[in-house]
Structure 1
């Protein structure tokens, strides 16, 4: 299927209400307003196609960029490819839910995520922390270096309140995910979350969100979800 055909299909699936929701969340023109669930039949037709994914991502159309993440082949994407994608990610839904998710299925995931975390750039940092969340929530605990993750946990504790807004949110989610999905650091993550306390995150023109990883971890533990792992990263 060619890029023009996919764009036509996505355009036909767009809804004004969905489009307005995406715009309110930070998306910008061009976009059609396609619900993610509505993309699944088209994704089943195409399956995996990296060259098409790159073409769609390069359009700058939010829906096409999101769909690119669904049909991408992380196994063949190079570090340069991921750098190109993160440079095009202009708001958190792209950085954290398209680029970070796609990266999490690559063998290069930790190398690239580490670089982004240290970049000093808000959305790159956010994507790096988010990638680790997707990784911890999917890969077995023995796939990680415990000391390395403990170092990241300490870094989150030390810098979360002084970090950019989207990075704050991703760091908070890292603490929460470490507390639930990476059992070797559960106790340390709980203590980190207690020390960090409530994290206030400003979301555009919306009211400030108050994130509390400590109580979120406790609620999940009470539900018996300690050690939770997803079967797949991408849906």
Structure 2
């Protein structure tokens, strides 16, 4: 299938209700409003196709960009490719759920995520922290440096309340994910979460939401989810 055919298929799957919901979360035209589950049959037809993924991502159409993440070949993507994708990620559903997710399946994931966390730019930082969440929730504990993650927990504790809104949310999720999915630092993550306390996320035209990593970790403990790892990062 070529770009034009995929775009026609995506357009046919679009729903006005979902389009409005995506726009309320920050998406902008062009977009069709395709449910992510409805993309699976299309993925089965196309499978992994990096050249097509790049073409789809370059359209700027939100649904096409999301689908690009599903058919991308992360191991074939270079740091420059991820930077190019990040440049076009104009809101958190692209930065954290397309770019960060795709990066999490690449061998260069940690080094790219580290640069983004240090960038000082809201969505790059958010994608970097989110990438670690996807990594920690899917890869063996042995693939991570305990001392590095401990320093990241300390950094999150010291800077979370002054960070940009989307970065705050991703940092909070990082503390939670370390607490649940990385057993060597469970206790430290619990202490960090308690020290951080409630995190207020302000949103345009919507009321603020309050995140509390310590409560979320405790709920996971109560459900017996400590050490949780998913088989696949992408759907």
Counterpart in the other structure of 2:112: 112
Runs of 4+ in 1 over 3 A off after TM superposition: none
Two-structure CA RMSD over aligned residues (Å): 0.4
Aligned-partner Cα distance in 1 for 2:154–2:138: 22
Q: Is residue 200 of structure 1 aligned with residue 191 of structure 2? A: no
**Deviation at 1:206?**
1.3
In 1, the alpha carbon distance for the partners of 2:120 and 2:188 equals: 25
Measured in 2, the distance between the counterparts of 1:163 and 1:65 equals 27
Q: Which residue in the other structure is 2:76 paired with?
A: 76
- The answer on 1:99 being equivalent to 2:63 is no
1:205, CA displacement in angstroms? 1.6
Instruction: Please give the per-residue CA displacement for 1:137-176, whole angstroms capped at 9, x wherever unaligned.
Output: 0000001000001111110000000000000000000000
User: Which secondary structure state, in structure 2, belongs to the residue aligned with residue 202 of structure 1?
Assistant: strand
Deviation at 1:203, TM superposition (A): 2.2
Counterpart mapping for 1:80-159 below 5 A = 80-159=80-159
- Aligned residues, how many? 235
**Where does residue 177 of structure 2 map in the other structure?**
177
Q: Report deviation, 1:124.
A: 0.1
Please, which runs of 5 or more residues in structure 2 have no aligned partner?
A: none
Query: Aligned residue for 1:15?
Result: 15
CA distance in 2: counterparts of 1:166 and 1:232, whole angstroms: 24
Q: Can you list the C-alpha shifts for 1:118-153, whole angstroms capped at 9, x where unaligned? A: 000000000000000000000000010000011111
Quote how far apart the aligned CAs of 1:47 are.
0.2
SS of the counterpart of 2:60?
A: coil
1:188 counterpart = 2:219: no
Gaps of 5+ in 1: none
Match runs of 1:41-56 below 5 Å: 41-56=41-56
Give, in whole Å, the separation in 2 of the partners of 1:207 and 1:142.
Answer: 40
Q: Are 1:231 and 2:231 an aligned pair?
A: yes
* TM-score, normalising length: structure 1: 0.99
Distance across 2 between alignment mates of 1:203 and 1:94? 17
Once residues 232 and 30 of structure 1 are traced to their aligned partners in structure 2, the CA distance between those partners, rounded to angstroms, is: 29
- Report the 3-state secondary structure (helix = DSSP H, G, I; strand = E; otherwise coil) of the residue aligned with 1:34: coil
Q: Deviations over 1:83-105 (max 9, x none)?
A: 00011000000000000000000
